[in-house]
Copies of this chain bind each other. A is one copy, B any other.
Amino acid sequence: MTTTVKLSSEQEEIRGVARSFLESRFPSDKVRDLMTTDDGFEQDAWTEIADLGWTAIAIPEERGGAGYTTIERCLLLEEMGRVLYSGPFLSSAVLAADALLLVADAELGAAALAAVADGSVRATLVAGGDLLGGPDPVGEVVATEAEGAWALSGDGGLVLDGLSAQQLIVAARTGGAGAGLFAVEPGAAGVERGNAPTIDETRRTATVRFEGAAATRLDRGERTEEALLEVLDRGAVAIAAEMVGGARRAIEMTVAYMEEREQFGGPIGRFQALKHRLADLHVSVDGAREAVYGAADAVESGAGDAVPMVVAAAKSSASDSYAHTTAEAVQLHGGIGFTEEHDIGLYYKRALVGVPTLGTPLTHRGRIAEALDA
């Protein structure tokens, strides 16, 4: 009987370790410090994360990883979402790692995967246009081959950690409907990167464009696009887990505020209209969390055709729930809620940018609708 509706004791332990590590390394003032730095992350913390094995957590042992699954990785991301963890975990240890694992040829991608798995290289995935959420999973980059060498051109869109990444893993069209996966050195000629921060200053984004940039092909052209879709699906579940963690924390913060803030002679938490709204938020986040782990379960048990549907369920419900929960949380915090000084606004902005990342709720519901229509 394996299902995440009840975590195993090992999973509970992973979660516990993650929570105490993240709460000690990423308190609010640290997160705010990182918001003001160029790269938005701290190398020391990244090294510790790698040392904890998190960067390899969902990579099978036979591929040099820690041999856990995407379920345990979701637990980490949920905890990261709670503290607004700032760093390249999603871009490198989720998206780039999964691309190297699932899309790249085992041999061609081995070195890059190893470097991403041990955290020595921070990579990011360029695919699917802005924030990996466009209609075409490959995006607008085109690869051309000449004399055995590949070169990339085109707009990679808004890319997570696009400026600080040490390695770009890029999906590109290889003539017609074909697709390929490529490694590009970020400093190479023909790679243009521009800082493009969003309102979520706890996560970095940059524009990435290619103009004939030299690229190393990592796949062998077999089921590349199909595998890329799997990568984006796993990424969607991962960020959905992070969103659920943030949403739960936003509820806790709001409950605490409502217990402490007094108006009209007592805590505002006694007002039933506000209580009922909190109850609805709780149900919504609880449901989103089940959708996330339901998707992770389905991914891990190889549930076939149903996987993209439950992934879409996870990302759409986590997006809706996080955005709504944090908007309500800001409102319920009153004036203090829309000051930059209070952390709740950071969660709100994290939610807003998370919504289109790896596909909007509408896009995902559209996919489900299509599947149900078949």
Contacts and interface: CB of A to CB of B under 8 A. Distances in A.
A275 to B, nearest CB: 7
A276 interface: yes
- The interface residues of chain A, by DSSP majority, are classed as helix
Interface string A234-276: 0000000000000000000000000000000000000111011
A271 B271 CA distance: 9
Interface in A30-50: none
Contacts of A271: 272
A35 to B, nearest CB: 36
Interface string A152-194: 0000000000000000000000000000000000000000000
Nearest to A271: B272
A276 B276 CA distance: 11
A273 B278 CA distance: 11
A265 to B, nearest CB: 15
A275 B274 CA distance: 12
A126 B370 CA distance: 36
Interface in A297-343: none
Contacts of A273: 272-273, 275-276
Interface string A101-114: 00000000000000
Nearest to A277: B273
6 contacts: A271-B272, A272-B272, A272-B273, A273-B273, A273-B275, A273-B276
Interface of A: 271-273, 275-276
Closest 6 CB pairs of A and B: A273-B276, A272-B273, A272-B272, A273-B273, A271-B272, A273-B275
